[in-house]
Amino acid sequence: MSQPSSPAAATLPATSAAASVAASIPSYLQADNLGPWGIYLQQVDRVVPYLGPLARWAETLRRPKRALIVDVPIQLDNGTVAHFEGYRVQHNTSRGPGKGGVRFHQDVTLSEVMALSAWMSIKNAAVNVPFGGAKGGIRVNPKTLSLGELERMTRRYTSEIGIIIGPTKDIPAPDVNTNEQIMAWMMDTYSMNEGATATGVVTGKPVDLGGSLGRRDATGRGVFTVGVEAARHIGLDIATARVTVQGFGNVGGVAARLFAQAGARVVAVQDHGGTIYRESGLDVPSLLAHVAAVGTVTGFTQAEVLPNDQFWDVDCDILIPAALEQQITELNAGRIKARMIIEGANGPTTPAADDILHDRNVLVLPDVIANAGGVTVSYFEWVQDFSSFFWTEDEINQRLTRIMKEAFAAVWQLAADRKVSLRTAAFIVGCTRVLQAREMRGLYP
Ligand code: NAD
């Protein structure tokens, strides 16, 4: 019997440097074309031509520094043992410790967490807070767990990722389906394992445990701030604007409240339960109270119910996606009536949809600027924890507004100067800062 022939790759010379780099890319880093990591890689490809000599470091952006997958076993209330898959990814730490939220959702995957961590690197650099990018998550539907099960899962996950997080290493925060209580359990678990209270290990904590005033509203407030700035540039009057919001949680709920307070009419809201509509504008405070009581916008009596797909056809001036990734695609981008989209969510718009919206003259305020208010106040919380000296809510909101306005103005100006989209401009600012840090630090060893 003859020996099998040698693998083709061993006998053929590499055709180009690019081909040999491609061949060395591990499988988990390959673009999942329709997934968040694939979208992120396409966004990087679009910015590389604008990075000048720093482009030689661009491969840094295409690989997370560190990715940890953990098994999270817990005893359920019925006595059985359940195993959940958890992740913590540190995409880049050239500019400082990793920073980014923790998501509990049944669709969480390693590739999604990689993309979310990478967007954190770009975002933190774009608003110039001294952090790298990280993100974590557990693949679970937390709504199926009792409070005790949720606590046990959170604590075991924290212990498992405890080998790579810490106040100077990587600082988690809330994201989809995680909140102040979960941050309190994470802080306590990490502190117990360390033998010392370490408030700075997470942000988004309750105020009584070293949390910051203003953190709960910060992301929605940032969405509102950049929305007002952009509206001014395009001559859109917020006081008469019609607004639609997808996702009515921490980000979407606060953004809707602030737009309504400024006089805007919030005409449609969609969440995981369904879509509601009211031509004369929803009563946002009543809707927030309804969601706090029942967990979804559905069942709110002062509104009509719409089929979910019709949400995208609603006549509006401003659309705020504030739920999950890949909601605006080539399938619905052509139907959107808004003049402006403010990305409260991370990664809600695919590159193909970006192109359609650009051709239709719809302004997209990209996630890496628009939802940076949360991490900005997380930075304030971290600083306050280190100094054990706490600021007033007014001080926090003023500093937040200043940082958001300055970052937005810089991105707006760059987009105008280079004739690129706001997303590409924000990526130019963010990627340049990340790669400058990479270059100055050099490679170790
Ligand atoms: P949350 O858990 O408070 O709220 C999520 C909302 O999305 C809920 O209203 C939920 O019903 C809705 N939703 C879930 N699946 C949906 C679906 N399939 N269709 C429509 N709606 C759906 O989460 P959050 O903290 O408000 O985060 C929302 C988005 O904002 C995420 O993309 C997150 O990464 C991003 N973000 C959050 C923060 C923060 O500080 N919390 C900061 C920056 C970015």
247 C-alpha vs ligand 1 centroid, how far in Å?
6
* Count of H-run helices and E-run strands, the chain: 14, 12
322 vs 35, higher pLDDT: 322
- The predicted pLDDT at position 9 comes to 35
- The predicted pLDDT at position 28 comes to 72
- pLDDT-derived band at 6, boundaries 50, 70, 90: very low
Residue count of the chain, please give it: 445
- pLDDT-derived band at 15, boundaries 50, 70, 90: very low
Question: Rounded to two decimals, what is the model's pTM?
Answer: 0.94
At 323-357, the pLDDT tens digits run 999 999 999 999 999 999 999 999 999 999 999 99
**CB half-sphere exposure, 148, CA atoms < 13 A:** 5
5 C-alpha vs ligand 1 centroid, how far in Å?
53
- The predicted pLDDT at position 29 comes to 76
- The predicted pLDDT at position 251 comes to 98
Q: Whole-angstrom Cα distance, residue 25 to residue 19?
A: 10
Question: Are 69 and 104 spatial neighbours (Cβ–Cβ below 8 Å)?
Answer: no
- The predicted pLDDT at position 432 comes to 98
Whether 387 has a pLDDT exceeding 50, the answer reads yes
Does 327 contact ligand 1 (Cβ within 6 A)?
Answer: no
Percent of the chain exceeding pLDDT 90 equals 92
Whether 21 has a pLDDT exceeding 90, the answer reads no
Does 374 contact ligand 1 (Cβ within 6 A)?
Answer: yes
- Residue 135 annotated among the catalytic residues of the structure: yes
- The predicted pLDDT at position 33 comes to 63
- The predicted pLDDT at position 249 comes to 97
Q: List phi, psi (to 5°) of 341.
A: -115, 125
Q: Which helix (H) or strand (E) holds 435?
A: helix 422-441
In the chain, % helix, strand, coil (3-state, to 5) comes to 50, 15, 35
User: Is residue 379 classed as helix, strand or coil in its secondary structure?
Assistant: helix
- Give the number of other CB atoms < 10 A from CB of residue 380: 23
Whether 105 has a pLDDT exceeding 50, the answer reads yes
Q: Whole-angstrom Cα distance, residue 14 to residue 160?
A: 41
At 174-193, the pLDDT tens digits run 999 999 999 999 999 999 99
Residue whose CA lies nearest to ligand 1 atom number 41: 175
Question: Are 400 and 254 spatial neighbours (Cβ–Cβ below 8 Å)?
Answer: no
- The predicted pLDDT at position 11 comes to 34
Q: Whole-angstrom Cα distance, residue 211 to residue 184?
A: 9
Residue whose CA lies nearest to ligand 1 atom number 38: 175
Asked whether the domain spanning 213-445 has the same topology as the one spanning 65-200, the reply is: yes
DSSP 8-state symbol, 199: G
- pLDDT-derived band at 13, boundaries 50, 70, 90: very low
What is the architecture of the domain spanning 213-445? 3-Layer(aba) Sandwich (3.40)
At 249-298, the pLDDT tens digits run 999 999 999 999 999 999 999 999 999 999 999 999 999 999 999 999 99
At 371-384, the pLDDT tens digits run 999 999 999 999 99
C-alpha dihedral sign at 171, 88, 32, 19: positive
Work out the average pLDDT over 115-144.
98
Q: Whole-angstrom Cα distance, residue 219 to residue 207?
A: 17
Ligand 1 atom at shortest distance from the alpha carbon of 177? 2
Does 175 contact ligand 1 (Cβ within 6 A)?
Answer: yes
Break the chain into its structural domains and give their ranges: 7-59, 65-200, 213-445
At the top level of CATH, the class of 65-200 is alpha beta
Q: Whole-angstrom Cα distance, residue 247 to residue 371?
A: 14
Q: Which of 244, 319, 324 to mutate to test the pocket of ligand 1 (most atoms within 8 A of CB)?
A: 324
Does 376 contact ligand 1 (Cβ within 6 A)?
Answer: no
Whether 118 has a pLDDT exceeding 60, the answer reads yes
Mean pLDDT of the chain: 94
Active-site residue, selected from the candidate residues 135, 169, 205, 405: 135
